[in-house]
Chains A and B, each alone.
Chain A
Amino acid sequence: MSTAQPVLRIRDLHKKYDRLEVLHGISLDVPRGRVLVVIGPSGCGKSTLLRCINGLEAIESGDIELNGESISSGKTRWNLVRQKIGMVFQSYDLFPHMTVMGNILLGPLKAQGRDRREVTREAEQLLDRVGLLDRKDSYPRQLSGGQKQRVAIVRALCMNPEIMLFDEVTASLDPEMVREVLDVMLGLAERGMTMLIVTHEMAFARAVADKIIFMDQGVIVESAPPNVFFENPVSDRARRFLNIFQFDGVKKEEQPHVES
């Protein structure tokens, strides 16, 4: 397995916003069929990392390879590369003037020039799988946040990407809607989709990840299987980060109530 070519290979990636360096030499591999979950405090650069991978941000130096081909040289035709990289964002980013079906078909029809009948069939299957086939003619404003996010996932999947990037896709959802979106992602993992996920849902990260990447201040601090990372984090920073999600009881033992 280790000799097989990873779908995504990143080497020594550097990214600056003006003077501020947000990524200091990130290197990682995402092997085919694996799920990597990136966690870390806000501002650690994890979202920027995803945005660099599909060219929404220019990089300063380093190399990004998709299936062994460098996509970080100046000549990259991003519109072609992005067809192989599915990305889902935090904000509900459906096109409000198109139906669910219109949203899903736009990329396959216009960017990939595929046959409408074939894509429609695939889109319907995917919608069915996320439980939204009956909403295919709805407009985004008629959907809940969780439903919109599931449609956004289908829209990316319908391009038949090599890898899916998820950028905090449940961060702006109401708690009861988080689950339905995470379940869709778990389903993808079961089917062997290669994924790179940024999330704050620790229990989900633990359940879905083959490997946890812990980032802080623009570097990868720790990289380990989930059970190792969550039970015995090596670094101090990771331990402190995980503590944020723990609560100590604050309720005093109940005093007997005395009537006077």
Chain B
Amino acid sequence: MLDSALNVFRQGRNLARLMEGLWVTLEISAVSVLLSMLLGIVVGLLMTTRKPLWRAAARLYLELVRFVPILVLLYIFYYTLSRNWGINLEAKIVAVLVFTLWGTAEMADLVRGAATSLPAHQRESGRAIGLTESQINRYVIIPQAVRRLIPGVINLTTRMIKTTPFVFFINVPELTKVGQQIVEVAGMKNYMASFWVYAFIFFIYFAVCYPISRFSGFLEKKWEN
């Protein structure tokens, strides 16, 4: 039985291909997560400004993107754009674009939440001891906002990583897609192939996401005061 497993991974470049797939998954996740963090902070802060137009625009964007399935967004950007407007984007670029659109919306909402959940007293106490506004932001507001942000950001990161298999549908050769291709070929001779390949993929996703989640727990513990 173990032979069947070893055979699947030994055949041709199967293991190397899976690793390449993992690399694509990580690439798309890492770039999208980083872009989402940066843009999300900007959009999130826009949502807390006093300018109603900015707030409305940010709100509209957030509601639109959050409630449309990722798959629909992928199809819109991959197929519809190229067919109707002749814009041909590489599948990987489309994947990063869509995930960033989605991640930015989620991140913006987290930032807005963290920024508005701090009681006004905190700023006033800072003023009362003679700090300038920028000192208040630096020593009082931002450290607390970041602490409140971390659990949500980690959660969003792992959610984005485990949602990347959707790019399967626009033929990006990421981990799950590669796994499926291997199963299709090897499964004809080896009926255990799909079990071993998907079990392997299962553990890879776990191995990537679990440390990230533990890291969040570590930070929360460190900052629980």
Q: How far does the Cβ of B116 sit from chain A's closest Cβ, in whole Å?
A: 17
The reply to whether A141 and B127 form a contact with Cβ atoms under 8 Å apart is: no
**B146 nearest CB neighbor, chain A only:** A97
The reply to whether A79 and B130 form a contact with Cβ atoms under 8 Å apart is: yes
Alpha-carbon separation in the docked complex, A95 to B139 (Å):
9
Q: How far does the Cβ of B66 sit from chain A's closest Cβ, in whole Å?
A: 30
* Among B124, B130, B147, contact of A56 (Cβ-Cβ < 8 Å): B124
Max chain B Cβ within 10 angstroms of own Cβ: one of A86, A91, A94, A110: A110
The interface size bin for chain A is 20 to 34
Alpha-carbon separation in the docked complex, A242 to B119 (Å):
34
* Among A86, A91, A139, A141, contact of B121 (Cβ-Cβ < 8 Å): A91
Is B223 an interface position by the 8 A CB rule? yes
**A residues in contact with B147, CB < 8 Å:** 97
Question: Are A106 and B131 CB-contacts (below 8 A) given A96-B225, A97-B144, A97-B223?
Answer: yes
Is A111 an interface position by the 8 A CB rule? yes
**A residues in contact with B140, CB < 8 Å:** 95
The reply to whether B129 and A155 form a contact with Cβ atoms under 8 Å apart is: yes
Alpha-carbon separation in the docked complex, A51 to B140 (Å):
20
The reply to whether B144 and A96 form a contact with Cβ atoms under 8 Å apart is: yes
Alpha-carbon separation in the docked complex, A83 to B124 (Å):
13
Is A87 an interface position by the 8 A CB rule? yes
**A residues in contact with B135, CB < 8 Å:** 110-111
Is B72 an interface position by the 8 A CB rule? no
The reply to whether B121 and A107 form a contact with Cβ atoms under 8 Å apart is: no
**B residues in contact with A21, CB < 8 Å:** none
The reply to whether B130 and A156 form a contact with Cβ atoms under 8 Å apart is: no
* Among A80, A93, A142, A152, contact of B122 (Cβ-Cβ < 8 Å): A93
Question: Are A82 and B129 CB-contacts (below 8 A) given A95-B140, A97-B143?
Answer: yes
Q: How far does the Cβ of A197 sit from chain B's closest Cβ, in whole Å?
A: 16
The reply to whether B127 and A107 form a contact with Cβ atoms under 8 Å apart is: no
* Among A83, A91, A94, A142, contact of B130 (Cβ-Cβ < 8 Å): A83
The reply to whether B225 and A111 form a contact with Cβ atoms under 8 Å apart is: no
The reply to whether A106 and B139 form a contact with Cβ atoms under 8 Å apart is: yes
Question: Are A156 and B124 CB-contacts (below 8 A) given A95-B140, A97-B225, A110-B139?
Answer: no
The reply to whether B125 and A93 form a contact with Cβ atoms under 8 Å apart is: yes
The reply to whether B125 and A95 form a contact with Cβ atoms under 8 Å apart is: yes
**B131 nearest CB neighbor, chain A only:** A111
The reply to whether A87 and B130 form a contact with Cβ atoms under 8 Å apart is: no
Is A230 an interface position by the 8 A CB rule? no
Alpha-carbon separation in the docked complex, A139 to B126 (Å):
17
Is A17 an interface position by the 8 A CB rule? no
Beta-carbon contacts under 8 Å, A189-204 to B: none
The reply to whether B125 and A89 form a contact with Cβ atoms under 8 Å apart is: yes
The reply to whether A89 and B130 form a contact with Cβ atoms under 8 Å apart is: no
Is A159 an interface position by the 8 A CB rule? yes
Q: How far does the Cβ of B223 sit from chain A's closest Cβ, in whole Å?
A: 7
Alpha-carbon separation in the docked complex, A106 to B132 (Å):
12
* Among B121, B128, B144, B223, contact of A156 (Cβ-Cβ < 8 Å): B128
Is A112 an interface position by the 8 A CB rule? yes
5 pairs, CB–CB < 8 Å, chain A vs chain B: A86-B128, A93-B122, A107-B129, A107-B130, A156-B129
9 closest Cβ contacts across the A-B interface?
A107-B129, A139-B225, A83-B130, A111-B130, A93-B125, A87-B128, A82-B130, A93-B121, A79-B132
In addition to A107-B130, A159-B129, 20 A-B residue pairs with Cβ atoms within 8 Å of each other are: A54-B128, A56-B127, A80-B130, A82-B127, A82-B129, A82-B130, A83-B129, A89-B121, A95-B139, A96-B144, A96-B225, A106-B139, A107-B129, A111-B129, A111-B130, A111-B135, A139-B225, A156-B128, A156-B129, A159-B130
